[in-house]
Structure 1
Amino acid sequence: MAEEEKNKKPSSTVEAAPSRKDSAQSYLDIDHFREGIVVMKDGSMRAVLSSSAVNFELKAEIERDSIIYAYQNFLNSLDFNIQVIIQSRRLDLENYLADLGKKMNDVSNELLKLQIRDYVDFINTVIAQANIMQKRFYVVIPHFPGGFKKIGAFGKIFSGSQAGVEVNDFAMEKRLLMQKVETTISGLQSVGVFALQLNTQELIELYYGAYNPEQATRQKLINIDQLEAEVIERADEMEI
């Protein structure tokens, strides 16, 4: 038995290294954000509206009936789908308190400065003791371009196109989506709800907070404009 172990040749097979796990982004349906629009991996597009709310319980009975009737007419007037999302998040007053701190340093009146300091301490105490939640309301408007062309990896690099929508088609499909956005905003105004479309930066922050609720409160995103840089090319560089 010992001789067999000694004369046994080492195996030439090598176990394959464990496959690299895909990132969380690969499991999302979002491809990228462009000009205030969410472009999905299948080429479809989404516009997101941030809307106000109506305190229905405080309205009189006549006002309630009017709101219900207006909302019914709004839904019946739509020839496309919409999605209403209610998001509950812990109230973030970090920027508000930072602004108060700046104003306190600029105030020369010592009595007023003391009052601002006491107010900031009071707000911090309330936030620490109570879990104050903030509700935000969003309306998602989908759009499915007809006959969009899939573009490969090399097509993205050399043609400047992104995802499944070509640059020329994107402008046309965006106009069609904007018509749906305007129809939705106008219909919501008849109910007493005011809506505003989110831009690219706001969309990134919205989805970042939705998928990373805890991390979003500790680690803030920078503005995407700060990530842009000029591209410097050599004068004698050959065009491909």
Structure 2
Amino acid sequence: MDEKTTKSVKSAKKQIWDNTTQRYLPFSEIRDNLILMKDWSSRMVLKVNALNFNLKSEEEQDSIIYGYQRFLNSLSYPIQIVVRSLKVDIDWYINKLKNLAVKQSNSLLQEQTYRYIDFLINLVDMAQIMKKDFYIIVPYDSDENRSVKDSWMFWIFRSFWSAITQEETAFSIREKRKKHNDLKKANLERLNQIKTSLEQIWLKSSEVKKDDLIKLFINYYNPKVNTEIKIREDMDNFNVE
């Protein structure tokens, strides 16, 4: 067997393994910012900006608490609140400061830059700098929230059957595509309702788009592959020169 044939066989085996792994995921696809689940329900995700509660006055804090209580009581369907913590990698920022220090003609400014670099390195070594992201998962099921009401035993049986039956999985995907427009319309209505309610308590939120959803799932199912978040895009907005 030549080298070309060997590579084709290996790639074919790898593709079969990937397809088999996908059977065990709870969702079948992501289309138009909509997560289609294998039980014919859907999910949309809101990313919520953080609010510095301690800087608010006592009256504002009470207003936020009561507003959040009214928001929860107004819901006629379940939601999921996810808090995600990631390590912040500042190596790129430190390397940029080092390059600026080398090019610095003023010896005093150069010394101050190196001291600042040492301070950042010691700070990172002593305390883990974390970034927290807040998400609200908005579900919708056309069959009276069946995906939420199913018992755990029924979910195990359904997952097992989907894993061993390729035809059932393909059938469920075709059914979801037929219902896609209705699911998206109903799910988007709930998402906008939650977004409006959050604005009343000074919480800004935005819908998570398809590309960001894919990145989110990759990091969730592969926590050891990409556990650190790069802050290069944020640092580009700062003028450090």
TM-score for both structures, normalised by structure 1: 0.63
Confirm or deny that 1:139 pairs with 2:136: yes
Identify if the C-alpha distance between structure 1 residues 109 and 184 changes in structure 2 by more than 3 Å, giving closer, same or farther.
same
Offset of residue 138 of structure 1:
0.7
One of 126, 132, 140 as aligned partner of 2:123: 126
Any residues of structure 2 matched to 1:38-187 within 5 Å, and which? 38-93=35-90, 100=96, 104=100, 110-111=105-106, 122-146=119-143, 153=167, 162=173, 164-166=175-177, 168-187=178-197
* Aligned residue pair count: 191
The answer to which structure has the higher helix fraction is 2
Residue-by-residue CA offset, 1:88-145 (whole Å, 9 max, x unaligned): 22123466568x47x959xx86458887777566544533443212221110000113
Higher relative contact order (CA 8 A, sep 6+): 2
- Taking structure 1 as reference, are residues 125 and 155 closer, same or farther at Cα in structure 2, changes over 3 Å only? closer
TM-aligned CA distance change 1:144 to 1:126, over 3 Å: same
For the residues of structure 2 that align with 1:180 and 1:94, how far apart are their CA atoms? 41
| Deviation for aligned residue 1:53 | 2.1
* 1:193-208 alignment runs, 5 A limit: 193-208=203-218
Query: Could you tell me whether the CA contact under 8 Å between 1:32 and 1:40 is conserved in 2?
Result: yes
Q: In 2, Cα distance between the equivalents of 1:96 and 1:171?
A: 44
Q: Residues 128, 185 of structure 1: CA spacing in aligned structure 2 closer, same or farther, 3 A cutoff?
A: same
Q: Aligned residues: percent identity? A: 31
Question: What stretches of structure 2 of length at least 5 have no aligned partner?
Answer: 1-16, 145-165, 231-241
Q: 1:162 to 1:53 in 2, by over 3 A?
A: same
Query: What does the per-residue CA deviation read over 1:170-211, in whole Å, with 9 as the maximum and x for residues that have no partner?
Result: 122211111111111110111111111111111111122222
Given candidates 6, 31, 55, the residue that maps to 2:28 is: 31
Tell me, yes or no, if the aligned pair for 1:143 and 1:177 is still in contact at 8 Å: yes
Deviation at residue 42 of structure 1 after TM alignment: 1.1
- TM-score (normalizing by structure 2): 0.63
- Cα deviation digits, residues 210-238 of structure 1 (max 9, x gap): 22222113799xxxxxxxxxxxxxxxxxx
Distance in 1 (CA, whole Å) between partners of 2:48 and 2:65 is: 17
Structure showing greater Rg: 1
Distance 1:217 1:95, change over 3 A: farther
Instruction: Tell me which amino acid in the other structure corresponds to 2:176.
Output: V
Tell me: CA distance 1:204–1:124, structure 2 relative to 1, closer, same or farther (3 Å).
farther
Q: How does 1:222-233 map to 2 (within 5 A)?
A: none
Q: Contact 1:104–1:117 (CA<8 Å) still a contact in 2? A: no
